[in-house]
């Protein structure tokens, strides 16, 4: 029983705010010189639109 308690003691985490969850990511802004495939462009748009909704990024 003590062994199990010792293993699970390190599993507690602090709750984070939405702002903290967004600190690791930034909008993707390719330069005009970048050559993008259609798939890459779609992924960038999805990433940036998600950041606008969840993190309050400005376009």
Q: How far is CA 8 from CA 4, 14, 15, 37, 54, in A?
A: 6, 15, 17, 46, 31
Encode pLDDT of 4-25 as tens digits: 555 556 665 565 555 577 888 9
Residue with tokens 């309050």: 56
Query: Quick one: average pLDDT of 34-47?
Result: 97
pTM summary value:
0.64
Domain extent listing, the chain: 16-59
Q: How far is CA 18 from the centre of its chain?
A: 10
The overall average pLDDT reported for the chain is 82
């Amino acid at each position: 029983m003590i062994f199990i308690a010792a293993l699970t003691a390190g599993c507690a985490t602090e709750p984070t705010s939405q702002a903290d969850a967004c600190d690791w990511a930034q909008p993707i802004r390719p330069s005009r010189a970048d050559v993008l495939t259609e798939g890459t462009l779609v992924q960038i748009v999805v990433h940036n639109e998600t950041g606008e909704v969840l993190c309050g990024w400005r376009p």
